[in-house]
């Protein structure tokens, strides 16, 4: 961070190191006189697609912390899926050591057979 700030300061202003020595601003090889490129400007490939999706408010690669759901009928746990069914594990209570596994199918919300929390399958298309 400090290095980046120093480089940015060097590119925007001329530093005078000694009384008779003047340091010229640092320029990139293909500089557009904007200074150091941001992460967004220099990202390529998968990182660029992820940053563009995050800018649009989407999280296609599950980078962000998952949203919390109440698990009620009105606010079921959303389970993203590319197919028509998905195996779901429910840790019914915080201190449980056993996971209750069940198949969640497309359609209406289903309940966990042990605790009764609601889960709903939502179709999710991968970005590639």
- Contacts to Zn ion by CB under 5 A: 90, 92, 112, 114-115
Beta carbon of residue 80, minimum distance to Zn ion (angstroms, whole number): 19
Q: Which is nearer to Zn ion, 47 or 101 (CB)?
A: 101
Q: Which is nearer to Zn ion, 107 or 113 (CB)?
A: 113
Q: Which is nearer to Zn ion, 34 or 105 (CB)?
A: 105
Could you tell me the strand order of the sheet in which 77-81 lies?
77-81, 118-123, 110-111
DSSP SS3 for 56 = coil
> What secondary structure does DSSP assign to 61-88, as a single string?
T--SPPPP---SSSSPEEEEESSSEEEE
Q: How far apart are CA 27 and CA 25, in angstroms?
A: 6
Beta carbon of residue 107, minimum distance to Zn ion (angstroms, whole number): 19
Beta carbon of residue 78, minimum distance to Zn ion (angstroms, whole number): 16
Beta carbon of residue 37, minimum distance to Zn ion (angstroms, whole number): 48
Q: Which is nearer to Zn ion, 36 or 91 (CB)?
A: 91
Best CA proximity match to 128, nearest among 82, 68, 91 = 82
> Which two three-digit tokens encode residue 74?
């009105």
């Amino acid at each position: 961070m400090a290095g980046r700030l120093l480089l940015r300061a060097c590119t925007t202003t001329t530093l005078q190191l000694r009384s008779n020595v003047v340091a010229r601003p640092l320029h990139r090889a293909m500089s557009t006189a904007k200074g150091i490129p941001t992460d967004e400007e220099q990202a390529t490939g998968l990182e660029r697609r992820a940053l563009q999706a995050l800018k649009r408010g989407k999280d296609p690669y599950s980078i962000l912390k998952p949203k919390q759901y109440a698990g009620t009928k009105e606010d079921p746990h959303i389970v993203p899926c590319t197919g028509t069914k998905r195996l779901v594990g429910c840790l019914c209570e915080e201190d449980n050591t056993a996971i209750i596994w069940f198949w969640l199918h497309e359609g209406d919300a289903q309940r966990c057979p042990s605790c009764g929390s609601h889960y709903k399958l939502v179709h999710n298309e991968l970005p590639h």
